[in-house]
Amino acid sequence: MPAVLRVALPVPLPSLFDYLPPATGQAVPGSRVLVPFGRGKAVGVVVDVAADSAIGKSRLKPAIQALDDAPLLDAELMRSLAWAADYWLGAPGEAYANALPLALREPRPLPDTRDETWALTVAGQSALDAGSRRGGSRDLLQALVAIPLAATELSERLPGWRTAARRLAPAGLIERVAARSVATAVTTAPALNDEQQAAVAAVASMLGQFQPFLLDGVTGSGKTEVYLALIAQALAQGRQALLLVPEIGLAPQTVRRLRERLGVPVEVLHSNLSEGDRARAWLRARNGEARVILGTRSAVFTPLPQAGILIVDEEHDGAYKQQDGFRYHARDLAVVRARALGVPVLLGSGTPSLESLANVVAGRYRGLHLRTRPGALRPPQVQIVDMRAQRLEHGLSPTLLSAVADTVARGEQVLVFKNRRGYAPVLLCYQCSWHADCPRCERPMTLHVGRRQLICHHCDHRAPVPTVCPSCGATELKPQGQGTERLEEALTAQFPTVPVLRIDRETTRRRDTFEQLLDGLRNDAPAILVGTQMLAKGHDLPNLTLVAIVGVDEGLLSVDFRAGERLAQTVVQVAGRAGRAAKPGRVLLQTHHPDHPLLRQLLAQGYAAAAQELLAERRLALLPPFSHQALLRAEAHQRGHVDAFLHAANAALPAGHPLQVAGPMPAPMPLRAGRHRGQLLLEGDSRSALHEVLRAWQSTLFALPAARRVRWSLDVDPVDLY
Ligand code: ADP
Ligand code: ZN
Ligand code: ZN
C-alpha cells in the first residue's frame, strides 16, 4: 500500500501538500520531489511520509519524479526547519525555500562542487600586455596574473567575473586548471591574554555539548582571536565551524584572517553570490568539504553534518532579523540549531542585546567577558557637547569644529558620524512653511543636492527639486537639518586642504567600494570621514583619533521602546573607532539633551550599566524580553480594507485568551508607498501562551474574507514596530 508524501512547496500557505509517491525512485523525508501543482509543476521537499491523507488517498496525485537518491536536507536541518516554521509562523514551504539555495530548487541534477580554478594562458598574458582588453575582461586578466584563483575567490573579488570569463575562455585567454593545493596557514595566533584564554577554555570544555555563551567585549578586545582559537579546536577534532556576521561588508577582512590563520578552505555564503556559487558552497558544506563557513543571515541554514561550533558575531545587530517573507531571527535560530546539533554556540558583541543579557541573568547563557583591549592605551574619552548654547555651522558646533581642526593639524583622522543620508531631511519654504512631502508616504522627502533630486527614504519615490515654492511661489526654499552630504560639503569648505571622504549607501553602491575607499586612506596623513552606520564597524583605522557623533537626538525622542538600546549600541560602537591602535582617542557627542539620563549613564558608567538600567525599565514596563510579542501587520490601498481586516482578526481571537491586545491601530507610518498600514499587537507573559493562541489564530486569518483585500503578515518577536 503506497504511503502519502507530505511535501513543502514554496508558496505562502500554512500547509503541507499531500502526494502519492512517484512511479519510480525513493522519496524520503529531506529529499526533493517534482510534483504537479496548479497548472504547472513545482519542486518541493518531502517533510514526512504518512500512512494516510486527510484529503483521501484516492484524490491525491502522484509526484512526477524523485529528484534525490538520498535526503538533501539531513535530519537535524529538517527538525530545525520544522521548529523555525512553527516558531516564526512561517509557511512551511517558505522556511524550506530559505534553507535551499535557489539553484537547488530547480528540477536539475546537483551542480558539480569540485573546486573550479582559473588561470591566465600565455595568450592571455600577451593580451594583457598589449592592452587589447578593457573593462571587466581586463580586470579578470589582471586578477589572474600572479596565481590561478578559485571561482569562489574570484566571486569575492570581482562580482561580475563570470561574464568576462564567458568571453575570455573561448578566446583562449584564460583556462580552467587543476585545483591549487589546499591553502596553508601563513600566520600564527598571538599569545592569548588571560581573559581570552578563560573564554576559550570555557567554550572548549563544552565542545560536543549544547551550551550557549555570550562573549561580551568591545571592538578590538580580541573576540575574533577567541573565535579563531575555538574554530581551530573544532577543526582539530575533525568538525566544522559556522561563523555568522551581520553584513557582508565585514566579511572580506574576516575571510582573509580565517584563511591565513587556519589553512583550510573557508566557504563564504551571502546573498551577493551568484546562485550557482551559492548552491555549490551550500553543497560543499553538506558533503563536509567546507570546514569553515562564514556567512550572513541566511547562512544559518547551511547544512553542518560535522558541526563543532556555531558563532554569531555582533549578535545584537538587527540585520539578523529577516524583515519580510519568513521572518526568522538568525541568532535565535543558531541557538536552536546548536541545541539540535549538540554543540556550543558563542554569541559575541561589544554591545550585547538586552535579550541575550537577560538570558545570561536567567542562567540560560553563560557570560564571558573581555575587558581589556590588547594594544590600546586606554578607552577613549567621551565628552558631551551641549548644542543649545552654541551657534551652529551646518549643524556643527564651534567646539566640534575646533576639535576637528586640532586633530587634522596633528596629522590624524576624524570620523564624523551622522545616521542620515542626503543633504537635508526637509526642504522648507520660509514664506508659507510648505515643505516637500512624499505624495505616497506623507513624510518629508530628503534633499539630495548632488543628484538634484528629492528622494523619499521610505519608498524611494523621486521628484525634481522645485526652484519656487509650489504653494506660494516664493523663491526662499531652504534645506532644514543635515545629512552626510551636507556635512561633507561643510567640512570640505572648512578644511579645504584635508581629504574629506563620505561613506554611506550612496557613495558605496558597489559592495567593494567601501573597502576600497578606506584602503585608499593613508595611515600617516590627516583625513575626515563623514558617514552613516556603515562606519561603525569593520576595517581598523589606526590613525583615527577623534570621533564626532552628530545628532543622536532622534534616538532619545523615539516612541519605539528599543530606541534607547539601539542608541546606546550605536554610540558605543562608533565611539569604539577612536584610538584603536597606539594613539589615545577622543569622542564628542553633540546633543540638545545633555542631561538625558541614558546618555549620562552611558558616558559615566558604560554600556553594561546602561543596559542593566534599560533591562530594569523593560521589566517594570513588562516589555520584551520580559514579555513576548507578535505583530499582525496589514496594508492596502484603501484604509477601509485594512481596518476591516484588523477588526475581523481581532474578533477572531479565541474567547478568554490570556494575551494583551493593542489595536487595531494605524502603524507608526500610517501611509507608505501609497498603501495604508495598520497593526494589531499581541503580548503575552509567557511564550507558550502566546504561541498557543497564534497557531490557531493564524489559520483562521487565512480563511477571513477580509484577508483577501490586504497584504498581511505575522511577525513573532518583531524588532521594529514599523
Ligand atoms: P574584536 O574581534 O573584538 O574586534 P580582534 O580579535 O580583531 O578584536 O582583535 C583586535 C586586534 O588586536 C587585532 O589586530 C588582533 O590581532 C589583536 N589581538 C587580539 N588579541 C591579541 C593578543 N592576545 N595579543 C596581541 N594582539 C592581539
Ligand atoms: Zn511657500
Ligand atoms: Zn515615500
Residue 481 CA to residue 461 CA, distance in Å, equals 20
Closest-CA residue to 307 (of 246, 257, 366, 238): 238
Residue 690 CA to residue 59 CA, distance in Å, equals 36
Question: pLDDT category, 580, cuts 50, 70, 90?
Answer: low
Cβ–ligand 1 contact at 246 (below 6 Å): no
Strand 453-455 and strand 462-464: the pairing is antiparallel
Helix (H) or strand (E) holding 19: strand 17-19
Return the bridge partners of 403, or none: none
Angle in degrees, 0-180, between the axes of helices 398-409 and 484-494, rounded to the nearest 10: 60
For range 41-56, the mean pLDDT: 88
Contact predicate 65/107, CB 8 Å? yes
Helix (H) or strand (E) holding 664: strand 660-672
Helix (H) or strand (E) holding 176: strand 174-177
User: Does the pLDDT of residue 338 top 90, yes or no?
Assistant: yes
3-state SS assignment for residue 512:
coil
Cβ–ligand 1 contact at 224 (below 6 Å): yes
Cβ–ligand 1 contact at 367 (below 6 Å): no
For range 684-709, the mean pLDDT: 93
User: Does the pLDDT of residue 184 top 70, yes or no?
Assistant: no
| pLDDT at 91 (0 to 100) | 83
Residue 81 CA to residue 85 CA, distance in Å, equals 6
Task: For 267-320, write each residue's pLDDT tens digit.
Answer: 888 777 788 888 888 998 998 888 999 999 999 999 999 999 999 999 999 999
Cβ–ligand 1 contact at 225 (below 6 Å): yes
User: Does the pLDDT of residue 457 top 80, yes or no?
Assistant: yes
Q: How far, in Å, from the CA of 391 to the mean position of ligand 2?
A: 26
| pLDDT at 149 (0 to 100) | 83
Residue 245 CA to residue 227 CA, distance in Å, equals 12
Task: For 11-44, write each residue's pLDDT tens digit.
Answer: 888 789 999 999 888 889 999 999 999 899 999 9
Residue 189 CA to residue 670 CA, distance in Å, equals 53
Residue 416 CA to residue 529 CA, distance in Å, equals 6
* Phi/psi-derived region of residue 502, left when phi > 0, alpha when psi is between -120 and 50, beta in every other case: beta
Which residue among 197, 224, 253, 540 is best mutated to probe the pocket of ligand 1, counting the most ligand atoms within 8 A of its Cβ?
224
φ, ψ of residue 482 to 5 degrees: the values are -130, 140
Counting every residue written for the chain, the total comes to: 722
Residue 112 CA to residue 105 CA, distance in Å, equals 16
Contact predicate 614/597, CB 8 Å? no
Residue 715 CA to residue 230 CA, distance in Å, equals 34
| pLDDT at 234 (0 to 100) | 96
For range 528-545, the mean pLDDT: 81
Rounded to the nearest integer, the mean pLDDT of the chain is: 89
- Cell matching residue 558: 523615539
3-state SS assignment for residue 198:
helix
Return the bridge partners of 462, or none: 455
Question: pLDDT category, 181, cuts 50, 70, 90?
Answer: very low
Contact predicate 551/416, CB 8 Å? no
Cβ–ligand 1 contact at 195 (below 6 Å): no
Neighbours of 705 (CB within 10 A): 9
Residue 665 CA to residue 642 CA, distance in Å, equals 10
Task: For 585-620, write each residue's pLDDT tens digit.
Answer: 889 999 888 888 888 888 888 899 999 999 999 999
Q: How far, in Å, from the CA of 455 to the mean position of ligand 3?
A: 8
| Residue located via cell numbers 546633543 | 591
Task: For 401-421, write each residue's pLDDT tens digit.
Answer: 999 999 999 999 999 999 889
Question: Which strands make up the sheet holding 628-636, listed edge to edge?
Answer: 660-672, 675-684, 628-636, 711-716
Cβ–ligand 1 contact at 193 (below 6 Å): yes
Cβ–ligand 1 contact at 121 (below 6 Å): no
For range 375-394, the mean pLDDT: 77
Q: For the CA atoms of 615, 616, 621, 625, what is the dihedral angle to 10 degrees?
A: 30
| DSSP states along 318-370 | GGGB--SSS--BHHHHHHHHHHHHT-EEEEEESS--HHHHHHHHTTSSEEEEE
For range 474-501, the mean pLDDT: 93
DSSP H helices in 520-562: 553-557
Residue 689 CA to residue 657 CA, distance in Å, equals 9
| Residue located via cell numbers 527639486 | 465
φ, ψ of residue 301 to 5 degrees: the values are -90, 5
Q: Which ligand is nearest to the CA of 540?
A: 1
Return the bridge partners of 187, or none: none
Closest-CA residue to 527 (of 397, 402, 407, 393): 407
Q: Which ligand is nearest to the CA of 372?
A: 1
3-state SS assignment for residue 311:
strand
Residue whose Cα lies nearest atom 20 of ligand 1: it is: 222
Q: Which ligand is nearest to the CA of 192?
A: 1
| pLDDT at 294 (0 to 100) | 93
Domains of the chain and CATH, by start: 4-104 (3.40.1440.60), 117-177 (no CATH), 194-370 (3.40.50.300), 381-422+482-617 (3.40.50.300), 427-474 (no CATH), 628-716 (3.30.70.360)
Residue whose Cα lies nearest atom 10 of ligand 1: it is: 220
